[in-house]
Structure 1
Amino acid sequence: MRRTALVFLAAIAALVLASPVSAAPGRPGGLVALTEQASRRILVLPADQEAWRTRAYTWSWAPAAANGLGDLAAAFVSPDEAKLTERAGQQYLMTTASGGFAGVIPYPQGTGAYWAANVGGPSNPHSIELLPDGNVAVAASTGGWLRVYTASQGARSTTYAEYPLVGGHGVVWDHERQVLWALGTHELVALRVGGTPAAPVLTAEQVFHLPSEGGHDLQPVPGSGDQLWVTTETEVLRFSKSRGTFSTRYPGAAAINGHNVKSVTTNARTGQVLTATPQADHICTWCTDTVDLDLPRGELTLRGAWIYKARWWQPQH
């Protein structure tokens, strides 16, 4: 009965969220990307409450026959990651969904995927990163792994190298140190990617045990080559790569640090911090329709939305 009710309410929410969408990339530096699970879409819109009230989306995306990914559409259940990156002058959406989808999609074109695959719904992929050699790293929570797929060898390549990682939730490439940071339930790992693009090899270079359980989100702190955001079930931390330490002493910590924060990013241009935390009374127990801003303080609400993660829509490196 509960499953039927959830499906019915999701259908209503999808209709409420429906809106004409332009293909324009919008105002740089002032956009937010949402993983909206009711309508099963990635939404991009200005960080302005009026735009959220009127649903003035500047971009929307989901796999479909029209963009060449109809065969993977069924795997785009509960989208749970949306990040922007740039490679050779082209920007890309990097996205995953709990239903098994993982992909790197040209932005704003939305068609002709750089790479896309169904990595297995039971594995619950949660984050993704495009690497300098053209391969793609994916972290999966239920699967308990970090994989590097040989996307450099083809847009649908499913060959991969795997590193076991309990509760894999986050992955970030470190351009300065040339390592892949991966976050799991208990630890943060710096992985060296060796071998060749066609046959990568993953080796743990450093392992740091988390000060609290349930590692969830992992993101760079723009403008600081030394700092990473790390969230757990009970804290929002900053990790110093040079010191190998976690801390809750950072600007805005009194408001930002909290329980069960699903995503955190810093606006590279303004320094404003954006977080998404589930609402206690939301029918989707891991979702919210309101995201928080800090430094300065504010909030943005998209009524009826099932937001899992919210990120500043700009490359974080």
Structure 2
Amino acid sequence: MSAGLALLLIGTTAGPAAAARPGGGSWRPGAPVAVVDQASRRVLVLHGADELMAFHGPDHLPVVWSWTADRDTALADLSPARSWSSPTEAKSRVRDGRRYLLTTASGGLAAVVDLATGTPVWAVDTGPTANPHSAELLPDGNVAVVASTGGWVRVYTASQGPRSTDHAEYPLAGAHGVHRDARTGLLWTVGDDTLTALRVGGTAAAPVLTPERTLALPEPGGHDLAPVLAAPGQFWISTAGRLWRFDPSHDRFEAVPVTPQESAREVKSVGDEPGTGRLLTTAPDHAGPCTWCTSVLTCHRPDGIRRLEGTHLYKARWWTGR
């Protein structure tokens, strides 16, 4: 087993208990990992690196939790056969002591799912042409959604009901990534060419979006936006050809060197593991019918890969709740 993903041993909680190491001693599993698999149309939380090495196809992955809109009768009114096509996001967030999955799909669906029950607490169909790519849960229970083809950032009034479609909207070409910085309350969003910080004002029932800062990306093709867990207030950003670390206190983009450098191209998701700083990324491997997907999870610092044959992975995230 290569060292790069040696700590991808996971449980269903953010802080698994130490386990016995074969031959004596103890070790603490690394953070859980969730993947978006477009082949099986599921969000999967995987059990561990050892199991990843031994799996025999997508139906035998070491899955400890999964969710799909296809099997959720509560979402039948949102036409999941279409709206759940090509899922694009899986984030874990905690609010008021409860943990949620935030998920989106290119077909139009955006949803918040209670992990304890597997029940959607809010969901909306944004339509077949918007192409939602990410979402964020706000402190008041509302949900920010970004859509690349739609070219918008929206804050939906999810706090007002499980099918609330009222929203505030801000135009952003190629909107792909969104993250709320709890330190400043700003909603950061990334599009094709720009990084924009929005202030969410108004009320929970009638939110208002106001731009506070807009910066040009160092190169086009903005895609993922994620917090640097080791440095709160900073962000990972992926563009067409590079990975970047952004420090808003100095408006500075710093290129992130990875090995091989080619693995930094077209990155769909990036994030650092709590405690270790290990980076986890996904990028298209151009080896299957899904030209934007991959069957490979890649780690950096230390480097290592896991190939999950039969999957069409779009994003992979440390399952941390942040």
RMSD in angstroms over aligned alpha carbons? 1.7
- Tell me if structure 2 keeps the 8 A contact 1:53–1:303: no
Residue in 2 that maps onto 1:285: 291
Any stretches of 5+ residues in structure 1 without a counterpart? 1-23
**C-alpha distance after superposition, 1:73-119 (max 9, x if no partner):** 221100000010101111000000000000110114211x2211101
**Is the partner of 2:129 in helix, strand or coil?**
helix
1-structure distance, mates of 2:180, 2:223: 16
| 2:84 maps to which of 76, 85, 89 | 76
- Tell me if structure 2 keeps the 8 A contact 1:67–1:110: no
| 1:270 maps to which of 272, 276, 290 | 276
TM superposition shift of 1:66: 4.2
Residue in 1 that maps onto 2:66: 60
User: How many residue pairs get matched?
Assistant: 290
1-structure distance, mates of 2:161, 2:270: 32
Change (3 A) 1:265 1:67: farther
Residue in 1 that maps onto 2:121: 114
TM superposition shift of 1:30: 3.0
**Is the partner of 2:246 in helix, strand or coil?**
strand
- Tell me if structure 2 keeps the 8 A contact 1:37–1:79: yes
Which amino acid in the other structure matches residue 110 of structure 1? G
**Is the partner of 1:122 in helix, strand or coil?**
coil
Q: Does 1:169 align with 2:176?
A: yes
2-structure distance, mates of 1:253, 1:298: 11
| 1:228-267 equivalence runs, <5 A | 228-248=235-255, 250=256, 253-255=258-260, 258-267=264-273
TM superposition shift of 1:291: 1.0
2-structure distance, mates of 1:65, 1:293: 32
Q: Which moved more, 1:198-207 or 1:291-300?
A: 291-300
Q: Does 1:300 align with 2:318?
A: no
2-structure distance, mates of 1:91, 1:203: 28
TM superposition shift of 1:229: 0.3
TM superposition shift of 1:271: 1.5
- Tell me if structure 2 keeps the 8 A contact 1:47–1:300: no
| 1:76-115 equivalence runs, <5 A | 76-111=84-119, 113-115=120-122
Q: Which moved more, 1:140-149 or 1:305-314?
A: 305-314
- Tell me if structure 1 keeps the 8 A contact 2:258–2:300: no
Which amino acid in the other structure matches residue 95 of structure 2? R
TM superposition shift of 1:67: 5.3
| 2:130 maps to which of 99, 104, 123 | 123
Which amino acid in the other structure matches residue 25 of structure 1? T
- Tell me if structure 2 keeps the 8 A contact 1:25–1:108: no
Residue in 2 that maps onto 1:13: none
- Tell me if structure 2 keeps the 8 A contact 1:227–1:238: yes
Q: Which moved more, 1:48-57 or 1:143-152?
A: 48-57
- Tell me if structure 2 keeps the 8 A contact 1:145–1:162: yes
Change (3 A) 1:258 1:65: closer
Residue in 1 that maps onto 2:199: 192
Change (3 A) 1:280 1:65: closer
Q: TM-score, normalised by structure 2?
A: 0.86
- Tell me if structure 2 keeps the 8 A contact 1:216–1:262: yes
Change (3 A) 1:213 1:143: same
2-structure distance, mates of 1:51, 1:212: 35
Change (3 A) 1:189 1:69: same
Which amino acid in the other structure matches residue 216 of structure 1? H
**Is the partner of 1:123 in helix, strand or coil?**
coil
TM superposition shift of 1:268: 1.4
Change (3 A) 1:203 1:156: same
**Is the partner of 2:187 in helix, strand or coil?**
strand
- Tell me if structure 2 keeps the 8 A contact 1:139–1:171: yes
2-structure distance, mates of 1:283, 1:295: 30
Q: TM-score, normalised by structure 1?
A: 0.87
**Is the partner of 1:82 in helix, strand or coil?**
strand
1-structure distance, mates of 2:204, 2:187: 15
**C-alpha distance after superposition, 1:103-158 (max 9, x if no partner):** 110114211x2211101120000000000111100000000000000011111100
TM superposition shift of 1:64: 4.1
Residue in 1 that maps onto 2:12: 25
**Is the partner of 1:69 in helix, strand or coil?**
helix
**C-alpha distance after superposition, 1:35-90 (max 9, x if no partner):** 10011110110340423532111111011454522233221100000010101111
2-structure distance, mates of 1:188, 1:53: 41
